[in-house]
Amino acid sequence: MKPRATAHVDTFARDHLPPPDEWPELRFDLPELRYPERLNCADELLHGPPGDRPAFRTPDGATWTYGELRAQVDRLAHLLTGDLGVVPGNQVLLRGPTTPWLAACWLAVLKAGAVAVTVLAQQRPHELSTICAIAEVRHALCDVRSVDDLVKAGVPDLRLATYGGDSPVTC
């Protein structure tokens, strides 16, 4: 399989793939496994289910419907591509506990055409700094409860938005 042309402006992830002769052979012989040349998986995952169908149920009893999830993903994707300046192919760090918000952020990153670099909420500043340097991360979405160590990591030129707390998303 040869690498194909990409819509990514930032080709970092593609440039760091192993050589094509080391890629696995992917076979799509079954009709249900035939996909178009280009596919936005976040858009496809969110497109089908009815808006009133539950997407997430949290331990505290809250429920996010697919309609609510779609609305949050669209809002976050707009924030990423607008306020934060994310272009297709950019790496976006995601940091926070496993919640519907983190899932919405992950889907929004994919919908924006970017690459999600999801890290544990417990990672320390020096670990975050190393990850951001290796992955050339310049954008982040972070739960407000996990932002202190990310700020302490001192990632150069990091464009950061937080979620949680009183306001769903702030830059």
Q: Are 137 and 146 in contact (CB under 8 A)?
A: no
Give the position of tokens 């519907």: 100
Residue 131: name the closest of 104, 154, 113 by CA: 154
Q: Are 127 and 72 in contact (CB under 8 A)?
A: no
| SS3 of 74-103 | HHHHHHHHCCCCCCCCCEEEEECCCCHHHH
User: What CATH fold (topology level) applies to the domain 31-170?
Assistant: Rossmann fold (3.40.50)
Domain parsing of the chain, residue ranges: 31-170
pLDDT band at 1 (very low <50, low <70, confident <90, very high): very low
Give the position of tokens 């830059």: 171
- Tens digit of each residue's pLDDT (9 = 90 or more) over 16-46: 888 889 989 888 889 888 888 777 777 777 8
- In the structure encoding, which two tokens stand for residue 120, read together? 């544990």
Report percent pLDDT > 90 for the chain.
65
Q: Is the pLDDT of residue 8 over 90?
A: no
Mean pLDDT of the chain: 89
- What's this model's pTM, rounded to 2 decimal places? 0.84
Q: Quick one: pLDDT at residue 7?
A: 67
How many angstroms separate the CA atoms of 109 and 89, rounded?
Answer: 10
User: If residue 64 lies in a helix (H) or strand (E), which one and from where to where?
Assistant: strand 63-65
The helix-helix angle for 66-81 and 100-111 (nearest 10°) equals: 50
**Region 86-91 average pLDDT:** 95
- In the structure encoding, which two tokens stand for residue 135, read together? 């992955």
